[in-house]
Amino acid sequence: MTVLVATTLLVSGCHAADPHRPPGITADQSTLLDRAEQFLIRDCMRRHGFAYTVVPRATQPRYRDFPYVVDDPGWARAHGYGTDLLRRRDAAARAEPNTRRWDRMPESTRAAALFALNGMPGARTDLTAVLPSGVTTRRSATSCTSQAERRLYDDLPTWYRATRVTENLAPVRIRLVADDARFRRAVARWGRCMADAGHDYDTPALARAAVLSAVPPMPRRREVALAVTEATCAGQTGLSGTARRLDRQYARTVDGRYATAIADRKRLQRTAIPRAQAVVLAR
């Protein structure tokens, strides 16, 4: 049996903290760094002749992560599989001031604005990082985004590598959990529980896919009932507890494997705090 995983659902508020890794900075410091970067990007875009609106991070949609199974019955009763929050996310994305501005631009002007913001990889000076998957990712070192990060973090190549690697560690951990025989046995028990309740889904990912791909959309009451049953079965069969234990176990494995990137990111974040404070205070 192929076990499919990864159920990332939307919620309002902040990103859930990674329980496996001591935070390098506080939530307030993270917000400070983000705000300073936004100011620096705005200033750079203005130098290129483009308006740019600093958008507070708190107004942007955030995610709740159910990487293995929806296991919170209360959340399931409120949001089902999160289709209500997906609609809110899409509406927020359409209303984002920079997106709206770019959408109103002539095509050539929009292309120039996005080039100023992101650059175009292909130069010898490009930033590069090898992801845990083995894929090499690149970004222009001269874009407004890169210039802002260089001002804050100083060592831009190391910052780019560290962020790209650490932002892609979750799939590594999730795959290790999914391949573990203990997880597979728990998923099989979960599938039997779901079948007993009248839902023929072998894995949580298949249940979620049935909801998110339904055309027309699954009725709200049916979506919520399915999500609540999924969460109830996750608790009754031990899938939730098994997933949490294995997740912690493999997090230690993955964090050890990529300890240098994790340490580099935390170090550069900490040293960027005074620079970020200066940027924000100057505005």
Note down pLDDT in tens along the chain; length 283 residues. Answer: 445 554 545 433 333 344 444 457 999 999 999 999 999 999 999 999 999 999 987 655 555 779 999 999 999 999 999 999 888 888 888 899 999 999 999 999 999 999 999 999 888 999 999 999 999 999 999 999 999 999 999 999 999 999 999 999 999 999 999 999 999 999 999 999 999 999 999 999 999 999 999 999 999 999 999 999 999 999 999 999 999 999 999 999 999 999 999 999 999 999 999 999 999 999 8
Question: Cβ(276)–Cβ(36) under 8 Å?
Answer: yes
Question: Cβ(271)–Cβ(158) under 8 Å?
Answer: no
Looking up tokens 């973090």 gives 153
Q: What is the DSSP letter of 66?
A: E
Residues in the chain, total: 283
Please list the helix, strand and coil fractions of the chain in percent, rounded to the nearest 5, in that order.
65, 5, 30
What is the pTM for the complete model shown?
0.86
Structure tokens at 46: 């203005």
Type of residue found at 94: R
Question: Cβ(168)–Cβ(133) under 8 Å?
Answer: yes
Question: Cβ(151)–Cβ(42) under 8 Å?
Answer: no
CA quadruple 162, 163, 166, 172: dihedral, nearest 10? -110
Predicted confidence at residue 145, as pLDDT, reads 98
Predicted confidence at residue 57, as pLDDT, reads 74
Predicted confidence at residue 98, as pLDDT, reads 96
Write down the domain spans for the chain. Answer: 7-281
